[in-house]
Structure 1
């Protein structure tokens, strides 16, 4: 039972790390889109 528990915990932690990475990337994309929108608005 210890083996399965260990494998589950490790996979869960790596999954959380991946989620955090994706979340950060999404935030970056949102910021880029916001800056582009403000630039377009200013040019208008």
Structure 2
């Protein structure tokens, strides 16, 4: 899962909401939105 989050950040689909030390924190609703968007892209790519 952390690799997926890093990939979404790299692709610009998700951005950190806050930072604690070197750790980036993400809002849960933003993570879910990025997942829904990724699933939508994957489905449309197969069609």
Indicate the TM-score class for this superposition, using the shorter chain for normalisation. 0.3 to 0.5
Question: Which of the pair is proportionally richer in strand?
Answer: 2
Which of the pair has more CA radius of gyration? Answer: 1
Q: TM-score, normalization: structure 2?
A: 0.45
